[in-house]
Every structure is written in C-alpha cells, then in structure tokens.
Structure 1
Amino acid sequence: MGIFSRKRSSSSSSRSSDHRMPSLCGKVIMVTGGNSGLGKQSIMEFAKHEPAEIWLAARDTHRADQTVFELSRQFPNTEFKVLELDLASLDSVREAAETFLYSANRLDVLLLNARAGGSGPPAMTRDGYEGAFGVNHMGHALLTKLLMPVLLHTIRHNRNRGNVSDVHVVVVSSVMMHHAPRRGIQFDKLKTPPPKYSPFTFRCYAQSKLANTLFARRLAREYPQLTVAAVHPGVVRTNLMGVLARHEGGGGVLARLGRPISRACMASVQDGIQNQLWAATSQDVVSGEYYSHMGVKGRMNKLARDDMLAEKLWQWTEVELENYIALNTRYSD
C-alpha cells in the first residue's frame, strides 16, 4: 500500500482504500509551513514521487534551510527551495509571491498548510488583523491570488501539450470550524484583539478555519479550471489542550470545549497528512468541497455551506487586499 492506505467503511466512501499517489515527475509544489509536523511530512511524501521542485515557504528561513539540507540528502532527485514567507505580513506575502513568480516556470500544487492561533494568547498581525484570521485566511488568500497567474499558466501549458491539466490548491481547514461564532465570520471584530484567553479567543481560531473552508468553496467557483479542496487533517499531537488546561486549571470552558474533539481526532502525523496529500494529487477530488477524511466530503455545518457568507467573505477580502493584488508578472496574458 502507498501513503493513501487508510481503510474506510463502505458507508463513508465508495472510493478505493488503496489509492496511490500518482507520479509527480516534472511538477512544482509549494507548501506553507513546511519546517515541521504536517508540512514537513507532506513534503517528504511528495518527494518520494520525484517532483521537479518543492518550495518550502516559511517565516523561519534558518530552520527551513536545515530542513532543505536534510531533505536534499534523502531525496536527491528533487530540488528543494526555501521561500521566505511571513503570513502575518501582507508585504512579506507579496514579496514571496514576486520571488516565486520570477523564479518558477510552473506551479502544480499549492498546499496552504501553515496555521496560527488557538494555542496562545491573542495577537494582531502587522497589518492590524486578529492573529489567527490574519495568518490563516488573509495571508493565504493573498498568496493564492498573487500566485494565480502561474497556476493558470500551468493549466494552459499542460493542455497545450495534451497532458492532464490538473492543478490543485489545498487549504488545510479544521473540524474546529464548527465552533466558529454563530454568525460565522464576525467582520466587525476582525481588526479587534479579543480579551486574553476569553472564549472568543478560541473561537477566533475556529472562525479562521471556517474562513479557510469558505474561501476554498468560493475560489473553486471563481476558477473552475482549478481543483480546489479544503481538508481536515486531524488534530496531530498539538499542545492546544495542554495550554488551555494549564491556563484554566484543567476545567475551564475552553478546555472542556476542545477535549472531546481532541480525543476523537487525535492522529499520528503519518495519518494526519493522508487527507491533504490525497486532495493535492487525486483526480477524484470534487473542486470546492470540504473533506473531513480522505475521499469523504460534505461533513460540514450550514455556515460552511453558506454561499452568501462565502461571497461576503470573498468581497470583503478583495477590498482589504486591493492594494496588494496588482502584480505584473511574465505570466500575465
């Protein structure tokens, strides 16, 4: 069995449980947050199938360089490149996108894996957004929009050569999105820091993960040429519950809220990456869907299905990012 060997009940999915990752020969992949955990393991699995390039986009370039050195020795047939990217700074996102666009010839897989928030005190990004929302949604949304020229160029290039035109954008969301505020996205509070460790602090992370799912849904509608998916990776040995328990003496509302989910979803890193790897490479992905497990779609609440909310978030984001989106590249046509 390959990496996609998790068995599922027939009631969950009719797809085969022995799906193998296809050849990635000649492909270019970008992974945000690839220094450790799910991102690093995903890169290692991609590398086993010998893509041409894997770009590790990360804020800590020293750690990224160490990771690339390690991976290059294990997988000499793939070129690994570090891309400095601080998702908490829109200027940094723009600079990273510009660097990539003038360096790469194509982009076949964009895996938006990095995350912030949920396990620490509230923070604001450099651009004035609540920390989790600013990194998880705004930073990734801008990166995706700025990389769109090369994503679409890759599709055209593939079609012109008679090849499969599959280009995948995978947004790592979370089942935690079900604990977003009742209105879904509290637009009036996105630029206001929540009180330290209040219930809303935890909900900020959930709100950002809901935004990830809505963004993927709307992105798929905007660009039907792409294959877009939002995925839940499983809670993989995070310290979120420990932080909350220590802060609240083990019995506070935030810890109680998270423990059942943590117990139900805890997985090894190897298991946790299967869903996002499948979504990044399988031709069975239905664009715009949210996958709770490999090949299992549709397990989301009304807020995540709300096309009006997705449209409102899309338009709000467009306005917020309008000063950053215009970027002349050699792929514009």
Structure 2
Amino acid sequence: MTGWTADRIPDQHGRVAVVTGANSGLGLVTATELARRGAHVVLAVRDTAAGERVARGIDGDTEVRELDLASLDSVRAFAAGLVVDHPAIDLLVNNAGVVLLGPRRTSADGFELQFATNVLGHFALTGLLLDALAAARAARVVGLSSITHRNAHLDFDDLLFERDYRAAAAYGRSKLATTVLGVELDRRLRAAGSPIVAVLAHPGLTRTNLTPRAWEHRGRSGRLIARLGLLATQSVERGALPQLRAATAPGVRGGQFFGPSRFWETSGPVAEARFSRDATDPAVGTRLWAAAERLTGVAYL
C-alpha cells in the first residue's frame, strides 16, 4: 500500500501540539509521531496515570494533563491551565471519542454522553483555546469525523436523544455533529480573516477498541463490518495517517477532509474524503453552532 506516510511529516520542533485522548489508539499514534518529529506534545487525557505510562514510552518531548471532555468544568480548567504555560498553541487534534452500548448515559452536565464527549467538549475546548491558537504562526485544528456520519441525521427537536434513544444512532449523530461543526468552524475562521486552519479527518475502519462498537448494532451488515474490522482492516498506525496528514502536511487548506481512499473509504492510502450533504449545509452549520454555544456556554467567532 503506497501513499502518504508518517515519514513525510515535516519537522515539528518549536511547535506545541495538543492531542485529546492520547493515551491509546489513534491519539497515541498521533502523539507519538508528532513527538518523534520534534513537537512538544500535550497528552490531554482523562486518566493521567495511564497517560503518564504511555508518555514514558514516547521518544520525544511530552507532558500529560487531565481533561475530561464529558465535564465542561474540566474543559475550562484544562484550558485555563494550559494557556498559562503555553500562550501559543500550534496544533489542536480533537481526537478523543467514546462509543457506548446499552441504555442512555449522561455527562456531568446532564447531556447524552456521546454527544457531550465527542461534540460539546471539543467545541468548548476549541473556543477556549482560540486565542492561543491565533497567537501561533500557522495553527491548525483537526476534528475527527467518521464514515458513520453519512448515515446520521440531526434532529434539532431532540438533539441529545432524550426520546427514542438508540446508542448506535447517537454515536453516528455525534460524528455528524463533529463534522458539521468542523466545516462551520472553517467558514467562520475564513470570514474573520483568521490564519487558523480548521480541517477534518476520519480513520476509515481501523482496529481500535471503538470500531466494533460503532458498527455492531447497525443490523446484520453492521455486525459483519464489525467482524471484518477485527480481521481485515487497517492497523491503528494506518488509521491515524489521515489526521496526521491533516495536522502536518504542507499546503493543507481550511475545510479539507482526509480519509482512506479504498473500499468505501474504509481503508487504503490517504486522500480527500467525501462529506455528506448535511455536513456542508450552511444552514445546518449555523443552527448547530448556535445550539453548541447555548449548551456549552462558550461563544466564539
């Protein structure tokens, strides 16, 4: 398999990179590669003991900070402490995510847990770090989407699945919302004349601990894909390449979307990926942005 690889990551010395969910899976690979190329990498993790363990195995300059994206108080505390020590941040990779099975669960703030973690926590974090990102010379924000976003729907009358809860549908909605807000962030940064670049990536079907859960409740075909995901799809090292390309490749433009290029974008070399229609609809973006501001209490751009 050819194409863009981690060996093509430019030198990152002098850059500060924040990677959420960096203690395992895609986040750990992303943090490891960025540190290997010279970045100072902040591992933003809920479990700092686990973060410290993996940081000891990374060859490079790292630090571990506590961040629970399902708690807006934690997001605010993390951001406030981070900007004191790092007033300029070059890269924010909003990688962390959860996939839930079973009954509906809620965050510390009372929101459906997948939407709270995957969407609202990252929306608030980006807004709270925006000034530090603007202080860097060529900052980027990378949002992590999923191919599941294409089959999802945003119901603004029940955005947080308070009625008729279905775990798999809620996960897909969270990934569509992440994608919509990433596209909308790019629109707003451009309108404001900001030098910050907002891009998106998805890992296709990658052998992480989240992949089987994301698919196994989507009927017979979803269960088949989940089994194939354990047997025949990408390693986590390959799955991280789209977000690493989005984060580091020269010439990346705001609003681009990277993912695998083969087998319905489940695996293969990195290329530009396909958005769903809702993901790029400005009316949907405006409406969801307003909802995210209201739910998080964080308003920006």
1:282 counterpart letter in structure 2: A
Counterparts in 2 of 1:180-191, with a 5 A limit? Answer: 180=152, 184-191=153-160
The reply on whether 1:122 has 2:90 as its aligned counterpart is no
Q: Could you tell me which residue of structure 2 aligns to residue 100 of structure 1?
A: 82
Structure 2 residue 224 is matched with structure 1 residue 229: no
2: CA distance, partners of 1:17 / 1:169: 20
Pick closer, same or farther for the CA change 1:108–1:120 going to 2, 3 Å.
farther
Is 1:22 the counterpart of 2:4? The answer is no
**What value does the CA root-mean-square deviation take over the aligned residues?**
2.6
Q: Using the TM superposition, name which of 16-25 and 141-150 deviates more.
A: 16-25
Contact 2:30/2:244, CA 8 A, preserved across alignment: yes
Q: For 2:122 and 2:167, how far apart are their aligned partners in 1?
A: 20
SS at 2:99 equivalent: coil
Indicate the SS of the match to 1:220.
Answer: helix
What's the secondary structure of 1:57's corresponding residue? strand
Amino acid at match of 2:36: K
* Structure 2 Cα separation of the partners of residues 191 and 136 of structure 1: 12
- CA separation of 1:254/1:99 partners in 2, compared to 1, >3 Å: closer, same or farther? farther
State yes or no: 1:279 paired with 2:246.
yes
Partner of 2:167: 201
Unaligned runs of 5+ in 1: 1-5, 9-15, 156-165, 327-333
Q: What's 1:48 paired with? A: 36
Instruction: Please tell me the residue identity of whatever aligns with 1:227.
Output: V
Structure 1 equivalent of residue 143 of structure 2: 171
Is the CA contact (8 Å cut-off) linking 1:241 and 1:258 kept in structure 2?
A: no
Give secondary structure in 2 for the equivalent of 1:83: strand
Q: Deviations over 1:20-63 (max 9, x none)?
A: 11110100000000011111111111111112x21000111111
1:254 paired residue number:
219
Shift of 1:192: 4.2
Does the aligned pair in 1 maintain the 2:171–2:214 contact within 8 Å? no
Q: Hey, which bits of structure 1, 4+ residues long, moved more than 6 A?
A: 16-19
Greater CA drift, 256-265 or 55-64: 256-265
Tell me, yes or no, if structure 1 residue 112 matches structure 2 residue 94.
Answer: yes
Structure 2 partner of 1:148: 130
Give the drift of 1:154.
Answer: 1.0
Q: Which of residues 38, 46, 69 is equivalent to 2:26?
A: 38
Q: 1:117 touches 1:132 (CA, 8 Å); kept in 2?
A: yes
Q: Given the superposition, is the C-alpha separation of residues 233 and 244 from structure 1 closer, same or farther in structure 2, using an over 3 Å criterion?
A: closer
- Aligned positions of 1:279-318 closer than 5 A: 279-293=246-260, 296-318=271-293
Q: Report the Cα offset of residue 325 of structure 1.
A: 5.1
User: Cα deviation per residue 1:222-272 (whole Å; 9 max; x = unaligned)?
Assistant: 113211111111232245575689xxxx8x753533534774783101111
Deviation at 1:296, TM superposition (A): 2.5
Q: Distance in 1 between matches of 2:210 and 2:6?
A: 32
What letter matches 1:301 in structure 2?
S
1:303 deviation in Å?
Answer: 1.4
Partner Cα separation in structure 2 for residue 18 and residue 61 of structure 1: 26
Instruction: List per-residue Cα deviations over 1:85-134 (Å, max 9, x = no partner).
Output: 00000111011000101111321110010001245543111112111111
Equivalent residues of 1:128, 1:191 under 8 A apart: no
Give the TM-score normalised by the residue count of structure 1. Answer: 0.78
1:321 CA drift (Å) = 2.3
1:215 Cα offset (Å)? 0.8
Higher CA-based Rg: 1
CA gap 1:63/1:288 in 2 versus in 1, 3 angstroms: same
Percentage identity across aligned positions? 31
**Which residue number in structure 2 is paired with residue 329 of structure 1?**
none
SS in 1 for 2:259: strand
Residue-by-residue CA offset, 1:173-230 (whole Å, 9 max, x unaligned): 10011121xxx212232344466xx6x3211111111111111111111113211111
Task: Select which of 2, 7, 20 maps to 2:2.
Answer: 7
**In structure 2, what residue type is equivalent to 1:45?**
E
Which residue in 1 is equivalent to 2:294? 319
- What secondary structure is seen at the aligned counterpart in 2 of 1:107? coil
Structure 2, unaligned stretches of length 5 or more? Answer: 261-268
Normalising by structure 2, we get a TM-score of: 0.86
Q: 1:22 to 1:179 in 2, by over 3 A?
A: same
Q: Distance in 1 between matches of 2:259 and 2:214?
A: 25
Aligned-residue offset at 1:285: 1.8
Cα distance change, pair 313–276 in 1 and its aligned pair in 2 (3 A): same
